[in-house]
Structure 1
Amino acid sequence: MAETALRTTTAPASALAAPASAPAATTATAAAAPATGPAIRRLAAARRPAPHRAPTGRAVAPRHPRAACDDGDLAARFALRLVEVLSGLRPIGQLARHTTHDGYRLLARLAGQGPLRRPGQPQRPRLARVHESAPAAGVLEVCVRVESGERHHMVAFRLERHRRTEQWQLAAVEAR
């Protein structure tokens, strides 16, 4: 194979300078002006994300991240995260945006006591049975039995739906 050498040439500084007859302002604005034309429009179009296409080929609107989350398994999903916080497997800050102010104070006090924390190596607790009740619209009360080794615990909590954001938030929690 023949090697090709890459050559660079430099032009003398006098060749790069603007002609003496051209004003300096015109040269500066010409260099700073954005290039336009069909090539630029093609580049801009290539940067735009393509619309999501369904398997059938038709364009569909992107879904909301929580669109797949239904309220059917909300109690069990929230109970698991809450039990992980109470057992020390998950930091309490991960539930901060899902709690009311009073609920966070209760959770912080309870997590500090560590009712589900076992001495030694942390063991992942298992949710045995989740009971839920809706005493009013926008309110969900949940009781869950937690198996942690040979010990069993009960955790009860109340979720309330926020009026403006429609997000479920922890309002009260108790563990024994």
Structure 2
Amino acid sequence: MDTTLSSTVRGDGSRRRPGGPAPTRPTGRRDSRRPAATAAEPRAPRSGPHHWFAERLLAVLSGRRPVHSLLGHTVGPAYEQLVTLAPADPFRDRLRPVVRQCGRFTPGPGVIEAFARIATGDRVSAMAFRLEQGPDLRWRCAAVEIQGPRP
């Protein structure tokens, strides 16, 4: 008898031909339902240049990163705005500020106008910034604005 064509019996009693597709469920499981999602499941990863820039901008404004870390990611006037905003420490506090929400509006090709809600304890502030895509297809910040309660 040719063993390559005969089916094999697995531990759960089902049969499978050698070289056939792998099972899609754990051994011994007979139903097709998927496990229920848990409450502690992590959020979807944030993506997009506006999320990336919001996190970096908050790190600079909270004093966790130096202003010059955004030098290649800003254009003239925006970098000057950061130089004047950073010493004022708008988000420096005992509690670490976090980006709670980040959204964007695309007024045209190569331009993103974004906002970020920043939570520091029970206080909420907002940042708005404009990203422009250069000829090298890299996104750079062209303007920054901060609103909300400050310490």
- Give the TM-score band, short-chain normalised: 0.5 to 0.7
CA distance, structure 2, for counterparts of residue 74 and residue 101 of structure 1 = 19
1:8-54: CA deviations, max 9, x gaps?
Answer: xxxxxxxxxxxxxxxxxxxxxxxxxxxxxxxxxxxxxxxxxxxxxxx
Please state how far the C-alpha of 1:107 moved relative to its aligned partner. Answer: 1.2
Q: Which of the two has greater strand per residue?
A: 2
Asked if residue 89 in structure 1 is aligned to residue 73 in structure 2, the reply is no
Q: Which of the two has greater helix per residue?
A: 1
Please state how far the C-alpha of 1:74 moved relative to its aligned partner. Answer: 1.6
Q: Based on CA coordinates, which of the two structures has the bigger radius of gyration?
A: 1
**Structural RMSD (CA):** 1.6
Q: Which amino acid aligns with 2:95?
A: Q
Provide the secondary structure at the position in 2 that maps to 1:77: helix
Q: Provide the aligned length of Structure 1 versus Structure 2.
A: 102
Determine the structure 2 residue equivalent to 1:43.
Answer: none
Asked if residue 175 in structure 1 is aligned to residue 146 in structure 2, the reply is yes
Structure 2 residue runs of 5 or longer lacking an equivalent are 1-46
1:55-84: CA deviations, max 9, x gaps?
Answer: xxxxxxxxxxxxxxxxx4221111011011
Runs (4 or more) in structure 1 with deviation over 2 Å come to: none
Determine the structure 1 residue equivalent to 2:114.
Answer: 142
Q: Percent same amino acid among aligned pairs?
A: 38
1:115-138: CA deviations, max 9, x gaps?
Answer: 1112xxx53211111110111111
Alpha carbons 1:89, 1:124 under 8 Å: kept: no
